[in-house]
Amino acid sequence: MSVWLTARGAGLSALILLTVSTALGALVSRRGRPGARYVAQYVHRTCAGLGLGVLVLHVATILADSYAHVGVSGALVPFTSSYRATAIALGTIAAYLFLAVAAVGLARGRMAASERAVRAWRGIHALAYAGWALALVHGFTAGTDSDVGWVRLIYLGCLVAVGGAVATRLSRPIAVRAQGALR
């Protein structure tokens, strides 16, 4: 039972941390006070790193849980799990997207030298939104406690946080967005 609790707790914690990172990522792309932006970027990166670490704990405890029946191949190869194959596949794909985004995020400084590389970085970094959405659906469809009220409130809170941050980001005028494209 403690393995299951750890697996679910780690999954929900990873979702919350990656939600904070995704929402802040959307918000820090807006122009604002440099000091506030610096702090927000720091928290964005810290939550992303912590989220990935807790995600590793989630996967490890799911593999250790005899009830889950996910298996190593089920966790690493999408659609091969014997337990809720599609739901687990969404989580696997989300994890791969987050890892790709993190790898490119670590290389951002080197990629900033070229405008073409900056565009590539932005395109790959934008996959975090897809990874986050897949992770949310994975949690809701694969989670055995998704029908519990407070867990549903967590999912709803995550949805509102990222949805609101993206809406805020998209609400600024197009001219300002185009002007700040390379900043």
What pLDDT does residue 68 have?
Answer: 78
> Which whole-number Å values give the CA distances from 177 to 37, 41, 181, 183, in the listed order?
16, 18, 6, 10
Residue numbers in the chain where pLDDT is lower than 70: 30-33, 173-183
| CA–CA distance, 80 with 105 (Å, rounded to integer) | 29
| Positive or negative: CA dihedral 50, 20, 72, 100 | negative
What pLDDT does residue 102 have?
Answer: 92
Six-digit token string for 97: 């997207």
What pLDDT does residue 178 have?
Answer: 47
| CA–CA distance, 118 with 74 (Å, rounded to integer) | 35
- At 80-128, the pLDDT tens digits run 988 899 999 999 999 999 999 999 888 877 777 788 888 888 888 899 9
**Residue 65: partners with Cβ closer than 8 Å, 6 or more residues away:** 3, 4, 7
What pLDDT does residue 79 have?
Answer: 93
What pLDDT does residue 71 have?
Answer: 85
Asked if 143 contacts 8 with a C-beta cutoff of 8 angstroms, the reply is yes
Assign 29 to helix, strand or coil. coil
